[in-house]
Amino acid sequence: MSTLLALEGVRAGYGQTRALHGVSMSVGEGDIVALLGANGAGKTTTLRAVTGGVRWEGSIHFAGRSLSRMSTESVVRLGIAHVPEGRGIITQLTVDENLRLGAYLRRDRQGVRADYERVFDYFPILRERRELSAGALSGGEQQMLALARALLMRPRLLLLDEPSLGLAPLVVRSLFEIIRTINEKEGVAVLLVEQNARIALELSSHAYVLEVGRVAVEGPSAQLKEEESVRRSYLGY
Ligand SMILES: Nc1ncnc2c1ncn2[C@@H]1O[C@H](COP(=O)(O)OP(=O)(O)O)[C@@H](O)[C@H]1O
Ligand SMILES: [Mg+2]
């Protein structure tokens, strides 16, 4: 499988604070990769480095191209969609208006129209609620809206930052089923940041565990799941 995203020795921080101390990881084309770790480990910062949301050094390549000094908009145009922590939807706008923001960089109107239908097939509830203010949606529905909006960018890679946060277990389960289906049907690669290690390891094929800005463990998800010591030390179950 060819590599879609590759980070090598990525260092990043905020002012004087270093958050990443040389992170190397990769995501293959069409892969689901989990990025795990405790609060403050640097998971969000890793995603921000990819999208140009934080200053970083080292190397990041997407589909063979260096992302060094690229603006966030250029990164999006290359095919990377980021669903940030807290979802990033605009609660004062309607569901429809939020979705339109997802397609704002696209000029292929017919393609966009078709993609709306496709996205509504994944998330029928959004079709029903398209005229409603996004603020009126439940937490799970808001996460679906954020995902739907990201899909309208027609990405090759989805960066998901803790999609399960604050959602009830059943809602998390159905959300992750949809992520799996999208990955299989559309061939979109996913880099999934999660604190919920158990479910992330079920969904992903490969996983990295960050510990204070460094990759402490990595390997096939099935293997990590079985390793008692890894589970105890890093995954908390
Ligand atoms: N905007 C920010 N300004 C200053 N420090 C930050 C900021 N965001 C994160 N940090 C710090 O960077 C480190 C990594 O944080 P983060 O990437 O958010 O971790 P995670 O997503 O794994 O919880 C933490 O020590 C955190 O306090
Ligand atoms: Mg985070």
Mention the CATH class of domain 3-79+155-235. Answer: alpha beta
- Alpha carbons 37 and 218: distance in angstroms, whole number: 11
Separation of CA 58 and ligand 1 centre (Å):
19
Question: What confidence tens digit (pLDDT) does each residue in 111-166 have?
Answer: 888 999 999 999 999 999 999 999 999 999 999 999 999 999 999 999 999 999 98
User: Which ligand number lies closest to the CA of residue 40?
Assistant: 1
Residue nearest to atom 16 of ligand 1 (CA): 42
pTM of the model: 0.95
Residue 100 has pLDDT above 80, yes or no: yes
- pLDDT score, position 101: 87
In this structure, the residue with its CA closest to atom 11 of ligand 1 is: 19
Question: Residue 35 C-alpha to ligand 1 middle, in angstroms?
Answer: 15
Q: What is the mean pLDDT of residues 192-202?
A: 91
Instruction: Determine the 3-state secondary structure of 122 from DSSP.
Output: helix
Q: How many CA atoms lie within 13 A of 173 on its CB side?
A: 3
Is 19's C-beta closer than 6 angstroms to any atom of ligand 1?
A: yes
Its sign, for the CA torsion 97, 99, 105, 107, is negative
**Which chain residues have CB less than 5 Å from ligand 2, an ion?**
43-44
**Nearest bound ligand to the CA of residue 86:** 2
Mean pLDDT of the chain: 93
User: d(Cα 107, Cα 104) in Å, to the nearest integer?
Assistant: 8
Domain boundaries, given as residue ranges, for the chain:
3-79+155-235, 90-154
Q: Is the CB of 55 under 6 A from ligand 1?
A: no
Task: Band the pLDDT of 87: cuts 50, 70, 90.
Answer: confident
Average pLDDT over residues 61-88: 93
Query: From atom 9 of ligand 1, which residue's Cα is the shortest distance away?
Result: 45
pLDDT > 90 fraction of the chain, expressed in percent and rounded: 81
Question: Could you tell me the distance, in angstroms and rounded to a whole number, from the CA of residue 209 to the centre of ligand 2?
Answer: 13
Q: Could you give the percent of the chain with pLDDT greater than 70?
A: 98
Ligand 1 atom with least separation from CA of 46? 17
- DSSP, collapsed to helix, strand or coil, labels residue 18 as strand
The whole-number pLDDT of residue 1 equals 66
